[in-house]
Amino acid sequence: MNSLRNKVQLIGNLGADPEVKVFESGKKIAKVSLATSDTYKNADGHKVTDTQWHNLVIWGGLATTFEKYLKKGSEVAVEGRITYRQYENGSGDKKYYTEIVVSDMLMLDNKK
């Protein structure tokens, strides 16, 4: 059950092409946003779509896969863990950042 303590599964569409960086050590990281949407009817019976944006961080070989095969709009299922960071900007204000560190993914786009 320990593997269930911090586990996130999302299905959505990429909001941009993955941004990839290679460090001097050769380690690769990709970052991209993922949109997930839920549709429901409100109290008045009108259809409402609620879209949430998630910041994905992908390391190593999986980052290479994102870079090679996925682009803005691609539908993907991801699994990973949620992390929280904080930092101070140039003005001294604390900023908080939530990310999903992806450990597995499945491309859901139909082959064209």
For 23-37, the pLDDT digits (tens) are 999 999 999 999 999
Confidence tier at 110 by pLDDT (50, 70, 90): confident
Secondary structure (3-state) at 46:
coil
CA distance 52 to 108: 19
CATH topology of domain 2-40+47-107: OB fold (Dihydrolipoamide Acetyltransferase, E2P) (2.40.50)
Residue 108 has pLDDT above 60, yes or no: yes
Task: Give the DSSP letter of residue 92.
Answer: S
Beta strands at 47-59 and 75-88: parallel, antiparallel or unpaired: unpaired
What pLDDT does 8 receive?
96
CA distance 44 to 6: 37
Averaged pLDDT for residues 10-26: 96
Report domain extents, the chain: 2-40+47-107
- pTM, two decimal places: 0.86
Averaged pLDDT for residues 75-89: 95
